[in-house]
Amino acid sequence: MTTATESTNCDKQRTKVQKIFHKLECIRKDYIKKIVSSLVKTKPASITIEDLNIQGMMKNRHLSKAIAQQNFYYFRSKLTEKCLQFGIELRIANRVYPSSKICSECGAKKKDLNLSDRVYICPACGLKIDRDLNAAINLKHCAHYKVA
Ligand SMILES: [Zn+2]
């Protein structure tokens, strides 16, 4: 049986934890705002983003928590808002566009690329590049998109 004091302590701990979670959420959102701000300040003519299947990714129990914490929806809505404000064309790449699998140097397509492969090594031209940088360069040149 719990005493009144134990129950009050429990409530206090719960409130404390909730406050910490709230603080973390604020830090994450603030970080996103800063990133978006720094992106639009470079005044690009356009920004291309991937149309991630977030709902599908959320079904993967290994990824769901990390994805929820990344605030992808929040990032996209903030970016959309700022692009509109600054007259930057926001391009949404076609969902089937294989930005990670294409070599940004020679255009060859890699078939066996795992999520754990952080470095892209091209089988055709030998290019060795950070996976995300390679995808970003491809997205920059992607012609299959819709405007947000
Ligand atoms: Zn290549």
Alpha helices of the chain — where are they, by DSSP H? 4-41, 54-58, 64-70, 72-86, 131-141
In which residue are the tokens 């952080």 written?
Answer: 118
Name the maximum alpha-carbon separation found in the chain.
Answer: 71
- Phi/psi for 80 (5° steps) reads -60, -45
Strand, helix or coil for residue 31: helix
In this prediction, residue 2 carries a pLDDT of: 61
Task: Evaluate if residue 1 carries a pLDDT over 60.
Answer: no
Query: CB within 8 A of 7, min separation 6: which ones?
Result: none
In which residue are the tokens 């977030």 written?
Answer: 54
136 Cα to the center of ligand 1, angstroms: 15
Q: What is the mean pLDDT of the chain?
A: 91
99 Cα to the center of ligand 1, angstroms: 13
The residue ranges of every structural domain in the chain are: 1-42+52-89, 97-148
Q: Could you give the angle at the alpha carbon of 114 between the alpha carbons of 108 and 117, nearest 5°?
A: 85
The pLDDT tens digits of the residues spanning 42-99 come to: 999 999 999 888 788 888 888 888 777 778 889 999 999 999 999 999 999 999 899 9
106 Cα to the center of ligand 1, angstroms: 4
